Amino acid sequence: MPTPTSIVTGASRGIGRAIAIELSRTHRVLATYRGRRDAAESLRDQAGVEIAQCDISSADSREALIRLARERFETLDLLVNNAGIAPRERRDVLEAGEESFDELMATNLKGPHFLTQLAARWMLERKAGRIVFVTSLSAYAVSVNRAEYCISKAALSMAAAAWAQRLGGQGIPVFEIRPGIIRTDMIAAVESAYEERIAAGLLPQRRMGEPGDVARAVRAIADGLLDYTTGQVINVDGGFHLRSL
């Protein structure tokens, strides 16, 4: 049996890095990065993955990534749309400008949506493969000081549903993984505040998530354990999504 193949976007740090390391145990991995080549090279050295620079917001960059993957891989078994960014500056929704909105939409929504289009066309050649969208609890939990981020993730959640509907009958299940509060660079500035809120009962499971928690959810998908659950939203959030009185 040939070794299965995967693309993981935004893999140089945080959640993407953990996913790439987890998948490297069983897959050939093409891991993308945008600016931090040093971090990507350390991932390559640690896990034996291949790396490629890719600005997911750029059509030319997305197309180049798929061309490179086709040169390296005969088939694509798994696409993990993980790349995403937070606002450069948190600003109230009354004050935040269009530049930040456009930047987040291009990277967090347009990029993964159209990368999936390219990957899905390839997967349809043999009607096989799996696709994962990594969104966020911000797909439904509002933060008025980073509304553009929440809007991008809510829209990405719908993109995942659209792709699950379109590809479900073609042997290509699609999943959305919704991380909660995960210990990454993205929350470093507010990590201590989150820790205090978690200790006070914000989450039913009273600990912050780790990138490996998300990676293990991807593992279950990669191993085919969830193939009859296309369109499923997997909350990796310590129970944040639960409602209680």
Write out the catalytic residue numbers.
149
Q: Rounded to whole angstroms, how far apart are CA atoms 223 and 169?
A: 20
Question: Contact 227/235 with Cβ under 8 angstroms?
Answer: no
Q: Where are the alpha helices (DSSP H) in 48-137?
A: 59-72, 98-104, 111-123
| C-alpha radius of gyration, the chain, whole number | 17
84: closest CA among 181, 152, 29?
152
Instruction: Centre a 10 Å sphere on the Cβ of residue 81 and count the other Cβ atoms it contains.
Output: 30
25: closest CA among 213, 210, 215, 234?
215
Q: Rounded to whole angstroms, how far apart are CA atoms 209 and 179?
A: 8
Q: Rounded to whole angstroms, how far apart are CA atoms 184 and 167?
A: 32
DSSP 139: G
